[in-house]
Amino acid sequence: MIKIKAWISAARLRTLPLSLSGIITAAAAALAEGVFSKLIFILAILTTLGFQILSNFANDYGDGVKGTDNADRVGPARAMQSGLLNAKELKTGMIITAAITLLIASMLIFAAFGNENFVLSVIFFNLGIAAVIAAITYTVGKNAYGYRAMGDVFVFIFFGLVGVVGCYYLFAQQIADFILLPAITIGLLSAAVLNLNNMRDRLADQKVNKNTLAVVLGEPKVKHYHTALVLGAFICALVYFLLKATHWTHFFPLLAFLPLFVHLVTVYKTTSPPLLDPELKKVALSTFLFSLLFFISMCF
């Protein structure tokens, strides 16, 4: 029972809604264009959950091995840091999760393309491989990109561009007009969640030479960067709905930005990085709310 709780802790369930935001957004766009598929949607959800859990296991392992997770760390204790899981167990968990996720991803690709388009199937399978590599190498290895201020870029690409545009392509097998705008919205908000996490951990990361963008920029520049991410996401979403909306209810997703604007004021007022921890949930859930409202509004 203790081990089960340890694995649940390592999976970091609170991060999962954010990872689903891109898939739900792509599904909403597919609904709007009349190309939605329940099977593709379900398999895409399962694949994304697998990649996120794999990333969380790898993050727990990588930071644990490097000693980044120590007494100075802010936020929930990690499984390896707490001694609930050791390095060997986390490695095994990563291998099993990667294998299962790639199997589901293969089912997703087959559901979308069947036997008729081998080239596209190969491209999307390689994207799955790339997602596995990106999930692992964020903190694992000597050249972990999360330690070289590159995490934001990879999150923007995989949560935003690949997650939304790639998933939409699985539905429609073509790129819809302006789909890049909601993709950029989700990518920027996802990067904002990571940046906020790094802002919270900035002082602790600086001590162990984990050079996140928050460490590189320092305060107050990182707060300006954070504001740019959120406002950039709002502008892209607003432009998309101005171009595509056919009814006033289609603008409902923009309501998700109201708590984010309040959040920005809180970030600027907060002088102690650890006090930013509660704001993480607000940004992640607001991103999820945006995608959910987007999906619901397209149902009507």
Please write the tens of the pLDDT for every residue from 195-212: 999 999 888 888 888 888
Give the pLDDT of residue 170.
95
What is the C-alpha separation between 233 and 21, in angstroms, rounded? 13
Tokens of 262: 């309040």
Give the pLDDT of residue 25.
97
13-22, 69-78, 113-122, range with the lowest pLDDT: 69-78
The residue ranking higher by pLDDT, 23 or 207, is: 23
User: What is the rounded average pLDDT of the residues 44-60?
Assistant: 89
Give the pLDDT of residue 242.
94
What is the C-alpha separation between 18 and 285, in angstroms, rounded? 7
Residue 211 pairs with which residues in a beta bridge?
A: 148
Q: Is the pTM of this model over 0.85?
A: yes
Q: Encode burial over 146-170: b for 16+ CB neighbours within 10 A, e otherwise.
A: bbebbbbebbbbbbbbbbbbbbbbb
Please report how many Cα atoms fall inside a 13 Å half-sphere around the Cα of residue 134, on the Cβ side: 19
Give the pLDDT of residue 156.
94
Burial of 262 (0-12, 13-18, 19+ CB in 10 A): exposed
Give me the residue spans of the domains in the chain: 2-299
What is the C-alpha separation between 98 and 32, in angstroms, rounded? 33
Q: What is the pLDDT of residues 142-196, one digit of tens each?
A: 777 878 888 899 899 989 999 999 999 999 999 887 999 999 999 999 999 999 9
Q: Helix axis angle, 258-269 relative to 221-244, nearest 10°?
A: 170
15-19, 86-90, 159-163, 217-221, range with the lowest pLDDT: 86-90
10-14, 76-80, 131-135, 197-201, range with the lowest pLDDT: 76-80
What is the C-alpha separation between 234 and 280, in angstroms, rounded? 18
